Chains A and B, each alone.
Chain A
Amino acid sequence: DAGVTQSPTHLIKTRGQQVTLRCSPKSGHDTVSWYQQALGQGPQFIFQYYEEEERQRGNFPDRFSGHQFPNYSSELNVNALLLGDSALYLCASSWRTRGLYGYTFGSGTRLTVV
């Protein structure tokens, strides 16, 4: 059973460009969350998608947007890239059992903005 799959694994973009990252959730998971992890820091929550809608959002500007497709896969889009957007972007899919959520994380996409 495949876990969470993210693509691409590495990406280099120029400041001001736009980028799209992709995530396929683990089989049976219907919720996808995105996290940004700067070097040496813990992951920071960007937003979460459920039933193709953004359900919750962290403290990130509107340059960060997302989408969830009917097959539960998701995309993270970042516009007008800044040098500070360089980070590891993690996707996590989740399931809910008895009111609790369990997360499975992908290995992430390493974005470098130059």
Chain B
Amino acid sequence: DAKTTQPPSMDCAEGRAANLPCNHSTISGNEYVYWYRQIHSQGPQYIIHGLKNNETNEMASLIITEDRKSSTLILPHATLRDTAVYYCIGNAGGTSYGKLTFGQGTILTVHP
């Protein structure tokens, strides 16, 4: 699995967009970028994943650079309930059987 690098913490005002960066310069061609988040005392929650195209779902948008060395998770209108640790993970599925390698993640704090 690719090594990912994320800032340890970020702040965001409620109602504004939260942009969480992730560096994955060693990602291989068949590895997807996954984002999970973990709210205090709960298990990680799947947010979104992508390979090379930008993706959007009801929770967030994922922007992947053309060279695939970095990506940004965008929460368009952050709320206090979005305060959590956000993990960016590179994963190929296939023979790795989907094992997820978590790093330290980014602690996002949304304030009023």
Contact = CB atoms under 8 A, between A and B. Distances in A.
Are the chains A and B members of one assembly? yes
Contacts, number: 65
Contacts of B21: none
Greatest chain B CB density within 10 A among A31, A35, A105 is at A105
A94 B98 contact: yes
A56 B98 CA distance: 10
A96 B98 contact: yes
The majority secondary structure among interface residues of chain B is: loop
Interface residues of B, number: 24
B102 A105 contact: no
Please tell me the size bucket of the interface on A.
20 to 34
A99 interface: yes
A105 B45 contact: yes
B103 interface: yes
Interface stretch (A11-19, A44-52, A66-74, A78-86): A44-52
B32 interface: yes
Interface stretch (B36-44, B56-64, B70-78): B36-44
B39 to A, nearest CB: 10
Contact of A107 (B41, B94, B100, B105): B41
Contacts of A65: none
Interface of A: 4, 31, 33, 35, 41-45, 48, 50, 55-56, 58, 90, 92, 94, 96, 99-108
Given A41-B104, A42-B87, A42-B105, A101 B98 contact: yes
Nearest to A42: B102
Greatest chain A CB density within 10 A among B36, B44, B46, B104 is at B44
